[in-house]
Amino acid sequence: MKNGARSKRPMAGHTLLELLIYLTLLAILTVSATSLSNLYSTVLFRINAQALLGLVSATRETAVNTRSHTFLCPSSDTVTCSPSWTNQYYLLIVDINGNAQPDPSDRILRVTKIPQSIRISWQAFGNKSTLRFTPDGVTDNQNGRFRLCHTDLSDLQPATIIVNKAGRPRLHFIPDDKSPCSI
């Protein structure tokens, strides 16, 4: 090669236009990854709200089908009921001995686990820690509501499952509900 002559090899590197395109794509991917994470959490929250609605309905249907009292209660150990609805497990129990109280002789039909990121509260007449259905499928004077909140996404609208005296549950997502989820 002569002095001052250029080599025929292309120079390694990127143009300014290529760098701008890469940075634009990186910004778009960063924003969409955050949005996808929030979308996933929202979908998971709604799925768990539907699961709790299904569990309330199953508790009612079991009472009618077995012609016995049934309970839906929170549990910390998947074996016994506890008073706090902020636990992770929920039990569907058939009252075998008919004493209207969940106890060790009763039969647990279903154990449902709710993620720790979802908090549930139960407010009802009678202030009992279990939701009880009679053999004809109505609540035992316990119409009330479950309120579900997502602990990680405070801007996510809470879900409410309303159980009327006849025992029919229905799920509501109130779009403009700005009330805080303090459970």
> Is the per-residue pLDDT at 35 higher than 80?
no
Cα 126–chain centre separation: 25
Q: Which residues contact 110 (CB under 8 A, 6 or more apart)?
A: 55, 58, 91, 92
Residues 156-179: tens digit of each pLDDT: 788 999 999 899 999 998 766 656
Distances (CA, A) of 75 to 19, 22, 35, 113, 147: 56, 51, 34, 10, 17
The pairing of beta strand 144-150 with beta strand 159-163: antiparallel
What domains are defined for the chain?
Answer: 19-173 (3.55.40.10)
Range 55-60 average pLDDT: 96
CA–CA separation, 136 and 67 (whole Å): 7
Mean pLDDT of the chain: 84
Q: Are 162 and 139 in contact (CB under 8 A)?
A: no
pTM assigned to the model:
0.78
pLDDT digits (tens, 9 = 90+) for 39-54: 888 888 999 999 999 9
